[in-house]
Structure 1
C-alpha cells in the first residue's frame, strides 16, 4: 500500500510531518537520515551519535541546515517544537523527545536493544536496522511492544524483511512455501578476521570489522535466523546448506531429494545460496491444486511443480522509511520475531585460550552459526550477540561452539539481562 498520500493528509491535518529521530550516524545512519528527510510526509528532527559532528553532518547533508547541538532533553524538545532539528550524543534520550518514531542504525546490538527498550517504555514507536539485536532479544522486545501501545519492528530494506514480504505474498495467493531465503554476495570464509579484509574495506569505505562479518558468513547467518524466527521456518541443517545456485536453478535445486533437489525434511525452511541470486531474495512455492499449477506454468512462472518468486534487489536504508508509514498509519510492524525457532551461536574461528576477551560480531575470535534453538539451548551455546566482552574460562578449539560454561559473562550488561529474561519467558511458555 502506498503511504505518501496518507502521510501528506496526516500532515495537513496535524500541521506537521511525522517526526523521526535517528540513532546512529555512521555509514548506514547517514543514508537513512537523507532518505527519511526526502520522503514526503516525514522529517528528521533529531539525530543521535556519540560523535556529535557525525550527527550534525548527517543532518546538514540531508538538507537540515538548522541543526542545533543540544543534549538537554527539555531544551532539545523546545527546539524541535519550534521547527528546528537537534543533534544529541545519547541515543537513549531520543524517545524522550517530541517525536513519533525512533529509527535505530547504530549497528551495535547492545546499543540497539537498549534504544528499543527505552522507546517501548516511553510509548514511542521504534524501528531497528540492527538485526543483530533482534536475533538476540527480539522476541522479548516485540512481546513488550505488542502488550502496550507502541510498535516494535525491524525496518524494511534488509533481506529478511523483504523475504517475509514474498512469503506473505505467496501465502495470500494460497501457495505453499517450500523455501525462503537470500543470495549471498560476499565470499564465505568462516575463519576471516578483520586484518584479512583491511584493503577491501578501504576500497568499499567500510569498517573492516563490519566487512569481516559479511565475509565470515555471520551476517548471512543472522539474517536467515531472523527470517526463521519471524516465520517459524527452520534451518534444515546447522549453518544451512549454502549451495552454489543461480537464479534459474532455484526451483530445481532447493526442492525435495525425491524431485531432484537437496531437501530431505518436510516443512518450509530458510536457506541461502551463492551465485547470481544476490542481492536478491526468493521463495520457492508450489500449489496444492493442479489447475493452479498448470496456470503458473502457462504464465511462464516455471516449468515444474515448483516455482520461484524472486526479487532481484533489496535497498537497505532506502526502503527503511516504508516501516514508518506502516507503523504510524497502520499501527502494524513490518517485521518481528514471533517465534524462537533458530539461534545464531558463537563458533571459534581458531584455537582460543582461556583468558581471551572475546570480540563480537566480525571480530578475531568467533563467527556466527545458525542452528535449531532447542539444540542451542540444550548445548548451552553462547548467542553470537552476547559474545563481545565475554572472557573465556576454558580453552575452545577451532570450529567448536562456545558455550555459557566456557565464558565469564557480564551480567550487568542490559543486553544480557534482557536475554536472561527472554530465555526464562521462552522456557515457561510465556512467549515464543
Structure 2
C-alpha cells in the first residue's frame, strides 16, 4: 500500500497521526494549507509566539476560525480541532502528539525544540535546515539514542535531492554530483533585506501579498540558503563540498550533465561525488531558458559500456560523451509537500533524509566592514552571508558557523568578505546548539 492508502486507513480506524507544528510562518502555513486535504493526520497544536499572526495565516490558508480556536490541547484532541498558542513546549510535551514539525527557522531555538522532543519520545521533522547545517549529525545521534526519528522536511530541496541520490544509488549508478538550482550573480552575496526584491524577481506587492519575510528570502539570494541546503545534502549523502565553496556554473537543464563532470573531462567539478548549485543566469545576466532555478537534480555516470549503450538505446539525454545523465525535479513546493515526510516517518518509520556525518559546513562571511561591538543579525541580514566549505577545512580554522550568528556581539573588527572565526565574537558555550556543534566538530 502507498502512503496515501495507509493514511486513509488510519483515518477510517480513528487512529490519525497526531502532529504538533512549531512555527506558523511561510513553511508552516503552507503545510497547514495542505493538511486539511490529507487523511489520517490530525494537527493537534500549533505553537507560535505571535498567536494572532499564526491564526491569521491559517485563516488565510483556508482554516475555519471554529476549527483552530480550541481552548486547549485536550479540547483539540477530543474535538478533532486544533489549539493555537504560544507555548511550544506544551505542544512538544503533549502525550498524544506523535511528530513535532519544527519550522521556526531559528537554528538555536530549533535545537532546543528538537532535544525537548527527543526527550519526550517524539519524532521530529525539521524544516529549520539551518540547525541541520550547524549540528545535524549530533541531532541525528541524539534522536537515535532516544529511539526516535530526526528527519529533513520533504518539499525542501535537501530532502528532495537526497531522494534523487538514493534513487540513483539504488538503481546501481555512480553519483557524479547532486544539488539544486539558483539565481546567482557574485555580487548577490552582498545583498540585504533592503535590496532583495529588486534582485529576486518579485514585486513588493507580490511579497506583501504572500506575507514573505525579506530577511528570509534574502538568505536565498545572498547564497546562504543554497550553502545551508548543500551542506545538508552533503552530510546526508556523503557527497563532498567544493574546497573553496560553491561555484554556481550557469546552464539549462540540458547542460547539467555536461557541467557536472570533472574538470579533467571538460566539466566544472573538482572531482566526482560533489554537491553543487546550477545558476539560471548567463554571464550577461539574462535568464537561461529551461532552467532549474527552483528545482533539484542528480547527475549519474555510466560505469560500463552496457549502461552507456542503454542510455543511447532508450534515447536518454546525456552529455556529449554519452556517459553522464541528469535526472531532476524542476520545481519544489516547499511546505505543500511536507505530507510525504509525515507519512514516511509515521508509517514507514523512515526519515526523508537525515545527517549521517559532519562532512560539510556553512561558514559566516562578512558582507561589509564590521566593527567591534556591533551585533550580528544572522541569516539573510545586513552583516554576514553563509558559504559552503568542507568541514575538514572549516573546523581547524575555527570558522564561525552561519547558524550561530544571530544576535551575537563582535569583539574585534572584521573586514568585508572575510570568514569570521569564533575569536571574532562572544559565543555562549552554554547554548545547546553550541554544545551539539562542538560534538560535530569532534567528529572531524
TM-score, normalised on structure 2? Answer: 0.90
Greater RCO (CA < 8 Å, at least 6 residues apart): 2
Is residue 359 of structure 1 aligned with residue 357 of structure 2? no
- The 2-side partners of 1:231 and 1:293 are apart by 24
Q: CA deviation at 1:42?
A: 1.3
SS in 2 for 1:285: strand
Which runs of no fewer than 5 residues in structure 2 stay unpaired? Answer: 281-290
Is residue 295 of structure 1 aligned with residue 310 of structure 2? yes
Is residue 317 of structure 1 aligned with residue 317 of structure 2? no
SS in 2 for 1:389: strand
Q: CA deviation at 1:128?
A: 0.9
- The 2-side partners of 1:198 and 1:110 are apart by 27
- The 1-side partners of 2:395 and 2:381 are apart by 24
Q: CA deviation at 1:80?
A: 1.7
Report if the CA contact (8 A) 2:181-2:279 is conserved. yes
Aligned to 1:45: 44
Report if the CA contact (8 A) 1:69-1:88 is conserved. no
Instruction: Select the residue among 337, 352, 357 that pairs with 1:334.
Output: 352
Q: CA deviation at 1:114?
A: 1.5
Coordinate RMSD, CA, aligned: 1.9
Is residue 132 of structure 1 aligned with residue 122 of structure 2? no
- The 2-side partners of 1:37 and 1:120 are apart by 27
Q: CA deviation at 1:56?
A: 2.8
SS in 1 for 2:403: helix
Report if the CA contact (8 A) 1:241-1:271 is conserved. yes
Q: CA deviation at 1:298?
A: 1.5
Instruction: Select the residue among 188, 195, 214 that pairs with 1:208.
Output: 214
**Structure 2 vs 1, CA of residues 21 and 187 (structure 1 numbering), >3 Å: closer, same or farther?**
farther
Report if the CA contact (8 A) 1:33-1:58 is conserved. no
TM-score, normalised on structure 1? Answer: 0.92
Aligned to 1:155: 153
- The 2-side partners of 1:141 and 1:260 are apart by 39
SS in 1 for 2:298: strand
Aligned to 2:244: 238
- The 2-side partners of 1:307 and 1:152 are apart by 31
Alignment: residue pair count: 420
Q: CA deviation at 1:365?
A: 0.7
Q: CA deviation at 1:79?
A: 3.8
Report if the CA contact (8 A) 1:201-1:208 is conserved. no
Q: CA deviation at 1:16?
A: 3.3
- The 2-side partners of 1:186 and 1:23 are apart by 31
SS in 1 for 2:377: coil
Aligned to 2:274: 269
- Which runs of structure 2 are paired with 1:351-390 in the superposition (5 Å)? 351-390=369-408
- The 2-side partners of 1:58 and 1:40 are apart by 22
SS in 1 for 2:39: coil
Instruction: Select the residue among 223, 228, 232 that pairs with 1:222.
Output: 228
Is residue 346 of structure 1 aligned with residue 358 of structure 2? no
